[in-house]
Amino acid sequence: MKRLNWQIWAGFILSLVAGLSYPLVFVRWPVTREFPWANLVLFAIALVLLFFGLRRAFKPDKRIVSKIFSSLAAAFGVFMLAALLFVIYVMGAWLPASAGAPQVGQKAPEFTLTDANNKPVTLAQLLTEPINNQPPKGVLLIFYRGYW
Amino acid sequence: MRSFQKNLSKFTEAGIRIVGISVDPPEQTRVYMLQEAGYTFTFLSDPKLEAILRYDLVHAHELASGKDIARPAEFLLDSSGTIRWRMVTENFFIIAQPEQVLEAAKALR
């Protein structure tokens, strides 16, 4: 009687979930984004399942079709893991070094830029204009990529 | 940046003004950041990369936009304009958290 090689199927589906759940779910929280441990745990389970499924498919009595399919499924699992690590650690690091960015203890360079109402605003203004009727204790500058 | 908007009242309480800076022109900021996304803090436009260049934060020929834009970075200044805390991330997936900045802001008087 032919029995389903459930390990291969489960490993295949789990590696798909392990890869896609990073951009769809786990990227939202710093604790699962900065180091993708949740995805790595899923991948570890997926790869164990794929390993046992592969071993089962390569027993002598199994058909060539199941050998091919299980090999493809295992390759897919490894590919998904590699793709996730590539996105996080290679593409994630595609940033300029910014070695000349001002350091802690230095004076922040002055600037005059326009606000959302096309009004010119200087850093000196930002540092002195009151918040809640009191002089500000500080200013947080957030440089961001924007919509272009 | 969404997390900073969510914690804006804590920053206001601490006397910290939040200012976002990008190459986006003011019209675009009004539509996308203020109207659609609902941000309420100050936004400044730097389409000519004046401040972005002075802070050495230019991401030249950025892949997705094909333009020169700002790379993510955060600076906390005290009222004299001295930098007291900064984060110039080396990875897009590691970004500044409001809690970190609020912690650093406790030292400001």
Which residues of chain A from 26 to 45 reach within 8 Å of chain B, CB to CB?
A: 27, 30, 33-34
Task: Please give the average per-residue pLDDT across A114-131, as a whole number.
Answer: 96
pLDDT tens, A14-42?
999 999 999 999 999 999 999 999 999 99
The pLDDT score that the predictor gives to residue B91 is 97
In A56-95, the residues whose Cβ lies within 8 Å of chain B are 88-89, 91-95
Q: Is the pLDDT of residue B106 over 80?
A: yes
Mean per-residue pLDDT of chain B: 96
pLDDT for the residue A2: 66
- The Cβ-side half-sphere exposure at A16, using a 13 Å CA radius, reads 7
Share of chain B above pLDDT 70, in %: 100
Q: What is the CA radius of gyration of chain B?
A: 14
Cβ(B25)–Cβ(A113) below 8 Å: no
Q: Which residues of B touch A99 (CB under 8 A)?
A: 56
Q: Where are the alpha helices (DSSP H) in chain A?
A: 6-24, 30-33, 37-57, 64-85, 123-128
Residues of chain A with C-beta less than 8 angstroms from the C-beta of B4:
140, 142
Q: Which residues of A touch B29 (CB under 8 A)?
A: 116, 146
Report the pLDDT value the prediction gives residue B109, as an integer from 0 to 100: 81
Q: What's the CA gap between B68 and B52, in Å, rounded?
A: 10
Is the ipTM beyond the 0.95 threshold? yes
How sure is the predictor about A3, in pLDDT bands with cuts at 50, 70 and 90? confident
| Cβ contact, residue pair A27, B93, below 8 Å | yes
Q: Where are chain A's structural domains?
A: 6-93
pLDDT tens profile A46-87: 999 999 999 999 999 889 999 999 999 999 999 999 999 999
Reduced to 3 states (helix: H, G, I; strand: E, B; else coil), residue B100 is helix
C-beta of residue A122 within 8 angstroms of C-beta of residue A111: yes
What would the two tokens of residue A72 be? 């493809």
Q: What is the pLDDT of residue A148?
A: 66
Number of other CB atoms surrounding residue B105 within 10 Å: 21
Rounded to 5°, angle at Cα B47 from B54 and B75: 45
- Please state, in angstroms and rounded to a whole number, the distance separating the CA atoms of residues A89 and A33: 12
pLDDT value of position A1: 47
User: Taking CB atoms and an 8 Å limit, are B16 and A136 in contact across chains?
Assistant: yes
A126 CB neighbours in chain B (<8 A) are: 17, 19, 42
Q: Does A117 touch chain B (CB under 8 A)?
A: yes
Domains of chain B and any CATH numbers: 2-105 (3.40.30.10)
Q: Can you tell me which residue has the tokens 């601490």?
A: B14
- For chains A and B, CB pairs below 8 A equal 221
In this model, does residue A105 exceed pLDDT 60? yes
CA A69 to chain centre: 29
Looking at the complex, report in whole angstroms how far the Cα of residue B32 sits from the nearest Cα belonging to chain A.
8
AA identity, residue B13: E
Q: How does residue B65 score in pLDDT terms, banded at 50, 70 and 90?
A: confident
pLDDT of amino acid A132: 84
Asked if A120 and B57 count as a contact pair (C-beta separation under 8 A), the reply is no
Measured between beta carbons, the chain B residues lying within 8 angstroms of A106 are 82-83
Q: Does A120 contact B at CB distance below 8 Å?
A: no
Residues A54, B30: Cα–Cα separation, whole Å = 55
Q: Which value, in Å, is the radius of gyration of the alpha carbons in chain A?
A: 26
